[in-house]
């Protein structure tokens, strides 16, 4: 078929690993029992590949350097231990393997083995202090497998490949310190396929960051790389240079400005606040930045558009007067959506937190504190009561519920739809809902909102019964609604006027970036 090599996956909880594992492999024949017999299937595959394709055909094998069973009540010493894994790796080398890639596997947390940061979402399944000493938990999953790779290097003469949320800086350090011979990446190359070339050229600041949203795992899309899967659609230089105005500095506007500038247009970006990012800093506050470093995304976009010569006008509102003054050829509106207000009697009550007002207040704090520091301070005080009802159970409501629960609030999340968690990656949703049950967060899908009183929110539950949920505070967290206001004003006042992102059709960050890229290519 023309391939240059093959990587045999005998890791995670896949079939070939089950043969290697002393816990899972309980066979009493030639393929079970001793280490050599448990490795026989994999070594036979290696030898057969070499026999058919030649001894010089590269064969790498991906194995677990550690198997952890304690989550499901299995003693770790009954599983694949680091010492046993190193012994198996020697057998693979003897069979003709040209390289070994090292992962780990946690029984009951399959995804946490090959995406080690996911093991920490929403929190580790066991206390970090009790993690195996060969597992590096110091960076919440990043580089977790490096000690295992280093152990493999001590017993093998073939190259060892380290993987596990490695970035160029951490990867280079591992190579320099002799922990591995090669660094493997997946998600970072999805976010920026040009990463190796940029590293080679010393352009680390130009690398689009992976923010570990896991959309590539759940939907085959990428939050920051709108070209994923359509890389053949390259960004072409425009036939005619246009004066392009982008209104709004959120993810849609930033990507539109970047792509338009790459095409050679003269781009000016207006943002009425004093900072870029739109709702990204607020999202970073709620999500936290340890696992999803959204501030890196904002910094990346700012570096890119600045380097491309985009003129940034912070604290400037773009209106008809400014339009007449600048006379752009094209206007791209990325002004965001508007908060949805549920039509519930009593929605204007004093204990109902006005979402736009809350956003404005938090944004004023973010000007000076940043999402990381403000996130820590909200652990000390927030203008929210001890018992909270969150109206809306999609990704926004669920992540808000997690945020509030972490800060000591008793949380109930209500959702009209029978399926909560819309917008979340399935595996992350499953882990979060398990955490909800553990922490006492109540999730009530399939309800009908009746009224808000001083006692709380009254709903008709799934069983058709009327129920009042007591709450000190009620917070609407519904999806945004489109905001065509500025489009109606600007349409026809410039040769080209476009609306993108949430102001056109609300969605997730990935949707906003994709929309910005799509429209900027058409300008």
Q: What pLDDT is attached to residue 370?
A: 85
Both 261 and 403 in one domain: the answer is no
Q: Is 355's pLDDT higher than 90?
A: no
Both 110 and 170 in one domain: the answer is yes
Least confident segment among 16-20, 289-293, 510-514:
289-293
Q: What tokens were used for 284?
A: 């970073």
Q: Are 175 and 200 spatial neighbours (Cβ–Cβ below 8 Å)?
A: no
Least confident segment among 15-24, 129-138, 162-171, 354-363:
354-363
345 part of a folded domain: no
Q: What pLDDT is attached to residue 363?
A: 80
Both 330 and 400 in one domain: the answer is no
Mean pLDDT of 342-371: 87
Q: Are 273 and 281 spatial neighbours (Cβ–Cβ below 8 Å)?
A: no
207 part of a folded domain: no
Cα 424 versus chain centre, distance: 10
Within 8 A by CB and 6+ apart from 71, the residues are 106, 107, 108, 109, 125, 126
Give the range of the structural domain holding residue 452, as residue numbers without chain letter. Answer: 355-479
Query: What is the per-residue burial (b if ≥16 Cβ within 10 Å, else e) of 445-456?
Result: bbbebbebeeeb
Both 125 and 255 in one domain: the answer is no
Q: Is 255's pLDDT higher than 90?
A: yes
Q: Is 1's pLDDT higher than 90?
A: no
Residue 160: CATH number of its domain? 3.20.20.70
β-pair partners for 161: 101, 182
Both 34 and 180 in one domain: the answer is yes
Q: Is 365's pLDDT higher than 90?
A: no
Mean pLDDT of 293-305: 98
472 part of a folded domain: yes
Domain tally, the chain = 3
442 part of a folded domain: yes
Q: What pLDDT is attached to residue 412?
A: 99
Both 414 and 390 in one domain: the answer is yes
Q: Are 432 and 111 spatial neighbours (Cβ–Cβ below 8 Å)?
A: no
Q: Taking Cα atoms as reference points, which of 212, 30, 202, 43 lies closest to residue 118?
A: 212
Q: Taking Cα atoms as reference points, which of 61, 58, 62 lies closest to residue 4?
A: 58
Mean pLDDT of 130-158: 97
Q: What pLDDT is attached to residue 73?
A: 94
**Confidence tier at 383 by pLDDT (50, 70, 90):** confident
The whole-angstrom separation of Cα 305 and Cα 295 is 16
202-248 per-position pLDDT tens digit: 999 999 999 999 999 988 899 999 999 888 889 999 999 999 999 99
Q: Is the bond preceding residue 122 a cis peptide, omega within 30 degrees?
A: yes
215 part of a folded domain: no
Q: Taking Cα atoms as reference points, which of 107, 108, 168 lies closest to residue 143?
A: 168
192 part of a folded domain: no
Residues of the chain above pLDDT 70, percent: 100
CA 16, 214, 416 angle in degrees (round to 5)?
115
189 part of a folded domain: no
Q: What pLDDT is attached to residue 491?
A: 94
Both 407 and 327 in one domain: the answer is no
Q: What pLDDT is attached to residue 263?
A: 98
Within 8 A by CB and 6+ apart from 314, the residues are 249, 271, 273, 274, 275, 276
Top-confidence residue, 231 or 291? 291
Mean pLDDT of 287-305: 96
Residue 330: CATH number of its domain? 3.40.50.720
Q: What pLDDT is attached to residue 150?
A: 98
**Residues comprising the chain, all counted:** 523
Residue 417: CATH number of its domain? 3.50.50.60
Residues of the chain above pLDDT 90, percent: 91
List, in sequence order, the alpha helices (H) in 463-508: 485-490
Both 444 and 503 in one domain: the answer is no
Both 75 and 149 in one domain: the answer is yes
Q: Is 369's pLDDT higher than 90?
A: no
398-447 per-position pLDDT tens digit: 999 999 999 999 999 999 999 999 999 999 999 999 999 999 999 999 99
Both 506 and 415 in one domain: the answer is no
**Confidence tier at 376 by pLDDT (50, 70, 90):** confident
Looking at 184, 200, 226, the residue that finishes a domain is 184
Can you say whether the dihedral through the CA atoms of 315, 320, 324, 330 is positive or negative? positive
List, in sequence order, the alpha helices (H) in 280-425: 280-287, 294-307, 320-326, 355-377, 395-406
95-128 per-position pLDDT tens digit: 999 999 999 999 999 999 899 999 999 999 999 9
Looking at 184, 219, 251, the residue that finishes a domain is 184
Q: What pLDDT is attached to residue 408?
A: 96
Both 38 and 70 in one domain: the answer is yes
The whole-angstrom separation of Cα 309 and Cα 520 is 16
Top-confidence residue, 462 or 187? 187
Q: What pLDDT is attached to residue 366?
A: 84
Both 374 and 320 in one domain: the answer is no
Mean pLDDT of 497-515: 97
**Confidence tier at 317 by pLDDT (50, 70, 90):** very high
φ/ψ of residue 331, rounded to 5: -120, 125
State the average pLDDT for the chain: 96
458 part of a folded domain: yes
């Amino acid at each position: 078929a023309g391939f240059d090599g093959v990587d045999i996956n005998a890791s995670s909880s896949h079939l070939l690993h089950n043969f290697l594992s002393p816990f899972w492999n309980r066979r009493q024949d030639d393929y079970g029992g001793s280490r050599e017999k448990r490795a026989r299937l994999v070594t036979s595959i290696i030898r057969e590949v070499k026999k058919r394709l030649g001894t010089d055909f590269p064969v790498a094998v991906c194995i677990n350097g550690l198997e952890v069973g304690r989550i499901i009540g299995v003693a770790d010493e009954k599983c694949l231990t680091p010492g046993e894994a190193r012994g198996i790796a020697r057998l693979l080398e003897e069979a003709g393997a040209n390289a070994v890639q090292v992962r780990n596997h946690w029984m009951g947390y399959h995804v946490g083995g090959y995406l080690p940061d996911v093991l920490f979402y929403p929190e580790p399944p066991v206390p970090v202090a009790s993690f195996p000493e060969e597992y590096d938990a110091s960076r919440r999953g990043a580089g977790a497998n490096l000690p295992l790779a280093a152990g493999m290097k001590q017993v093998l003469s073939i190259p060892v490949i380290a993987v596990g949320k490695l970035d160029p800086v951490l990867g280079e350090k591992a190579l320099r310190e002799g922990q591995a011979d090669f660094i493997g990446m997946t998600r970072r190359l999805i976010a920026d396929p040009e990463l190796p070339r940029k590293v080679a050229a010393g352009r680390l600041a130009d690398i689009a960051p992976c923010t570990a949203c896991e959309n590539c795992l759940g939907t085959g899309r990428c939050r920051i790389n709108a070209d994923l899967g359509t890389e053949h659609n390259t960004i072409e230089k425009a036939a005619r240079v246009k004066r392009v105005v982008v209104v709004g500095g959120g993810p849609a506007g930033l990507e539109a400005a970047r792509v338009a500038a790459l095409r050679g247009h003269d781009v000016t970006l207006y943002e009425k606040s004093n900072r870029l990012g739109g709702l990204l800093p607020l999202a970073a506050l709620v999500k936290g930045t340890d696992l999803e470093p959204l501030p890196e995304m904002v910094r990346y976009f700012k570096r890119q558009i600045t380097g491309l010569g985009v003129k940034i006008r912070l604290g400037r509102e773009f209106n008809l007067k400014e339009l007449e003054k600048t006379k752009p050829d094209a206007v791209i509106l990325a002004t965001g959506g508007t908060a949805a207000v549920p039509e519930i009697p009593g929605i204007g009550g004093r204990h109902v937190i006005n979402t736009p007002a809350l956003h404005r207040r938090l944004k004023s704090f973010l000007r000076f504190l940043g999402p990381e520091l403000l996130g820590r301070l909200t652990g000390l005080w927030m203008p929210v009561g001890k018992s909270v009802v969150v109206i809306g159970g999609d990704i926004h409501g669920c992540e808000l519920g997690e945020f509030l629960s972490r800060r000591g609030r008793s949380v109930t999340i209500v959702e009209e739809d029978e399926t909560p968690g819309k917008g979340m990656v399935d595996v992350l949703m499953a882990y979060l809902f398990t955490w909800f049950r553990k922490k006492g967060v109540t999730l009530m899908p399939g309800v009908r909102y009746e009224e808000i009183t001083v006692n709380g929110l009254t709903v008709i539950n799934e069983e058709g019964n009327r129920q009042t949920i007591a709450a000190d505070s009620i917070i609407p967290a519904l999806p945004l609604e489109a905001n065509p206001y500025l489009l109606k004003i600007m349409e026809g006042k410039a040769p080209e006027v476009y609306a993108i992102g949430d102001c056109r059709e609300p969605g997730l960050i990935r949707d906003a970036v994709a929309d910005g890229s799509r429209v900027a290519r058409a300008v």
